[in-house]
Structures are given as C-alpha cells and as structure tokens.
Amino acid sequence: MSEKRSEQRVKWVVGNWKMHGRLAENAALLQAVADGAAAMADTIRIGVCVPTPYLAQAQAVLSGKPVAWGVQDISTYTHGAYTGEVAAEMACEFGATLAIVGHSERRAYHAESSELVAAKARRALEAGLTPIVCIGETLDEREAGTTEAVVGAQLDAVLNLLSVEEAARIVIAYEPVWAIGTGRSATAEQAQAVHAFLRARLAQKDSSLARVPLLYGGSVKADNALALFGQADIDGGLIGGASLKSQDFLAICAAQKAASQAR
C-alpha cells in the first residue's frame, strides 16, 4: 500500500462508553477530552459514542469543539410502535454524526444478524450519520482458522446492501470478540493481517473503497496503541474501557497522531 493512499484515509479515534456514565462525571470527562483534542484536530478525528440519554449533554459540552459525538446503536425504523428503539433521525436532532452498529455485544446479547446490521448501516447513512460497522470473530472461530471467512461474511452483508457511494461513507471497526473487555489484545501483527484482508475485500467491490477507514478495537490501551496504529492498514481505534478516563483516552489519541505523522 502506497504512502499516498494511506495519507488519503481519515484517521479516527472513537470512544465507546457502553452503558457507563453519570451526569457529573460525564461533564468532566467530555470537557477534558474536548480540551485535549484541540491540539490534535489538525491530524486526526476524535469522537465519543455515549448512551442515548446523554446525547444532549454531549451536544452542550462538545458543540464547537473538535470532537464528534454519536450513539451506540440505532433502529432500522424511522418512527412507529417500536418501544425502546431510537431512530437515527432522533440522534441527529442532538447533533450526533456517528452511530455504532453491529457491536459484538449487540450481535451476541440481542441476536443481531449481519443482515440487520447492514440495514442499520444504511439507515444511519440515510439520516446523515456515519455508521461505524463492527465486525469480529470469537475465540473459537479464530482457533478454528475461520477468522477471514467470518469477518468477510459480516463485511459482505453490508457491502451487498450498499451502493459504492454509500459504502464509501462508512467506517469499519474490526473488534475480535475474544479481545473485547478481556484485557487481551490482538498483537499488532494479528490485527494488521485482518485489516489487510478487509481492505482487499473492500477493494474487490470497488477500488475507491480501499480508502474506507479501518479501526481496531479490543483492549486498546496507551501502551499498545502506537504499535497498533503504526500498522499500514490500521486507521485508528474504537476504544472501550480506556475511553472512560480522559488521560488514557487522550494518550491513545496522541499515539494515533504520532503514528499518522510518522507515515
């Protein structure tokens, strides 16, 4: 992969708070991230995906700051009798620009299929949100040697539903299920191998899709971020637990900035 193509790809670090947060601690965290991001906005993009009840707070603190905000899931519907669901258009009314879809916890705990994830990605795009589409294999699948078959099928479900123009507006997050919240991260080489496979798969649909940002998620920390982000096909991270502490999250952002400048 040429340096020119790498430079054309957007670099992202996005925090996924999952089901964490309270108003007072959120205020301090959001403000600290906004302040720290100011020195990095010229090189990378930074975002946080918060629990839906805190969208208004994120909007209030982050408006006008170099940090995007978004939601952790959306409905495939725009409105109707779908109790508990949140429409993409509702998130947009609070200034959200990002939406995580297909996180492994949604796939596992809510039985979300790859086809449903694809439909959510398209709904996000229709509303003007950037979907961060999560894919990844379980430990059993990795040990069985089926990683590429699993993540390839998950990606294909999305690419089969979207046009090339739509697919060019998504972000992909590779999150090996066995590394999420376990403290066990894929090695930089393991992550790079899957990212290279995914980039080739995207390019098979259309050469322009080789520029789709590919993020790594799965126990990313300040001490392993630089090695991960320094890989040729890793364009940033979707950060779980470390995004709940501003110092840790900003250190990961700084690692991405350093990796981007080194290329």
Rounded distance between C-alpha atoms, residue 207 and residue 3, angstroms? 16
Q: Which two tokens stand for residue 132?
A: 């961060």
Runs of H (alpha helix) within the chain: 3-8, 23-37, 55-62, 88-92, 104-109, 114-127, 139-143, 147-161, 164-167, 188-205, 222-229, 246-262
Tell me whether residue 103 is one of the annotated catalytic residues.
yes
Q: Which two tokens stand for residue 209?
A: 């899709």
What number of other Cβ atoms are within 10 A of residue 80's Cβ?
9
Answer for the pair 6, 220: CB distance below 8 angstroms, yes or no: no
What number of other Cβ atoms are within 10 A of residue 30's Cβ?
23
Choose, from 105, 112, 137, 175, the residue flagged as catalytic: 175
Answer for the pair 38, 30: CB distance below 8 angstroms, yes or no: no
Choose, from 103, 105, 112, 195, the residue flagged as catalytic: 103
Q: Which two tokens stand for residue 112?
A: 């979300």
For residue 171, the one-letter residue type is V
Tell me whether residue 166 is one of the annotated catalytic residues.
no
Backbone dihedral region for residue 191 (phi beyond 0: left; psi -120 to 50: alpha; all else: beta):
alpha
147 Cβ partners below 8 Å, 6+ apart?
137, 141, 194
142 Cβ partners below 8 Å, 6+ apart?
176, 178
**Tell me, what DSSP letter sits at residue 222?**
H
Rounded distance between C-alpha atoms, residue 179 and residue 219, angstroms? 6
Residues carrying an active site annotation: 103, 175
